[in-house]
């Protein structure tokens, strides 16, 4: 099976006289004869990538946000002129009905393997798809999640829409911001053991080595206690969490169960009483949009780096 690289540093082909651009999208190469004019993005984090690149005038809407998340003021302003075409995953008919020519989504971010909406099912209707890099693990092997996954998506979107200079400036700014901040942080004596608690009481839904929190934790100086799990997001038994004894617990805040309720569940359950993070009440909350690939990953790393070094 062809290895899917974590980073495709640049578009695979330079612009021709016709402005043709080719990028890598998971295991596919996708060629654009011209920048899309009627794009749709799925999910809050992917939509925010479109916003920071200044692409709202190339969009006809977005999908998959209100079914799980609430827009903060920044996002509300950014998408104010755009309709939400579907509260959760869109159907093929929704995208066709919007006259979309481009869908920015991912596997388990608007598309399901073998589902109704895939690059193959949309192609006959003139809708090109670019797949979120982090999600490529669902259709083939790739390297563990890294910050470069997010930079790669911004870079490829920049190439697709003809705004590469804007994308490169954003990436350089994010990298410099993060490097400057981390340079001010005290050196850790050892990497703290970290558990990501997304949801679930009978069994936790958490992040393995291919999910973005694994990259955020490593960038901040910690180690994901489940970084040997060969999956992206997965449901596992609590036994492994207790055995590996995390020193810090990251709670992903979204959905009907609040972060406060998730924290209370862990603090009140006798089975978790001997976990260091529980004994010392060391919880860090990240919003969904921070814990999934997107521009807010920079702030998330800064939040985690500071929390890992807190007394």
Q: What is the pLDDT of residue 243?
A: 97
Global pTM? Answer: 0.92
Q: Mark residue 5 as left, alpha or beta (left: phi above 0; alpha: psi -120 to 50; beta: remaining).
A: beta
CATH number of this structure's domain 193-308: 3.40.50.1980
CATH T-level assignment (fold) for domain 21-176: Rossmann fold (3.40.50)
| Residue at token pair 């690149």 | 53
pLDDT, tens only, 45-92: 999 999 999 999 999 999 999 998 888 888 899 999 999 999 999 999
Planar angle of CA 92, 139, 1, nearest 5 degrees: 135
* Residue 229: CA count within 13 A, CB half-sphere: 24
| Residue at token pair 């490169």 | 168
> Where do the H-state alpha helices sit in the chain?
44-52, 73-78, 92-97, 119-122, 147-160, 164-183, 212-220, 238-244, 259-268, 276-279, 288-291, 297-308
Our separate counts of H helices and E strands in the chain read 12, 14
Q: What is the pLDDT of residue 222?
A: 98
pLDDT, tens only, 244-288: 999 999 999 998 999 999 999 999 999 999 999 999 999 999 999
Average pLDDT over residues 216-244: 97
Residues in contact with 258: Cβ distance below 8 Å, sequence separation at least 6, in sequence order: none
Q: Is residue 15 pLDDT above 50, yes or no?
A: no
Domain segments of the chain: what residues?
21-176, 193-308
d(C-alpha 41, C-alpha 153), whole Å: 13
Among 46, 12, 10, residue whose Cα is nearest residue 31: 12
Q: What is the pLDDT of residue 72?
A: 86
């Amino acid at each position: 099976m062809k290895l899917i690289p974590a980073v495709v540093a640049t578009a695979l082909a330079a612009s021709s006289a016709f402005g043709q651009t080719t990028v890598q999208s998971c295991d596919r190469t996708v060629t654009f004869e011209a920048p899309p004019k009627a794009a749709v993005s799925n999910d809050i984090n992917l939509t925010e990538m479109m916003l920071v690149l200044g692409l709202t005038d190339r969009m006809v809407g977005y999908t998959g946000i209100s079914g799980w998340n609430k827009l903060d003021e920044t996002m509300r302003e950014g998408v104010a002129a755009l309709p939400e075409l579907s509260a959760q995953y869109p159907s093929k008919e929704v995208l066709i009905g919007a006259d979309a020519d481009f869908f920015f989504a991912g596997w388990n971010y608007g598309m399901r393997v073998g589902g109704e909406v895939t690059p193959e099912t949309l192609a006959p209707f003139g809708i090109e798809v670019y797949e979120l890099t982090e999600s490529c693990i669902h259709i083939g092997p790739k390297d563990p999640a890294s910050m470069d996954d997010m930079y790669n998506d911004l870079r490829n979107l920049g190439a697709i829409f003809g705004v590469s200079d804007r994308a490169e400036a954003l990436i350089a700014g994010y990298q410099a911001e993060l490097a400057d901040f981390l340079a001010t942080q005290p050196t850790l004596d050892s990497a703290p053991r970290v558990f990501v608690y997304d949801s679930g009481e009978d069994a936790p839904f958490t992040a393995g080595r291919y999910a973005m929190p694994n990259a955020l934790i490593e960038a901040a100086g910690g180690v994901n206690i489940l970084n040997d799990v060969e999956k992206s997001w997965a449901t596992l038994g609590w036994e492994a969490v207790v055995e590996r004894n995390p020193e810090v617990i990251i709670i992903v805040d979204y959905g009907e169960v609040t972060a406060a309720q998730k924290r209370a569940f862990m603090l009140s359950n006798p089975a978790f009483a001997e976990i260091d993070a529980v004994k010392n009440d060391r919880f860090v909350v990240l919003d969904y949009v921070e814990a999934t690939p997107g521009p807010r990953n920079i702030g998330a790393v800064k939040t985690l780096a500071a929390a890992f070094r807190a007394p």
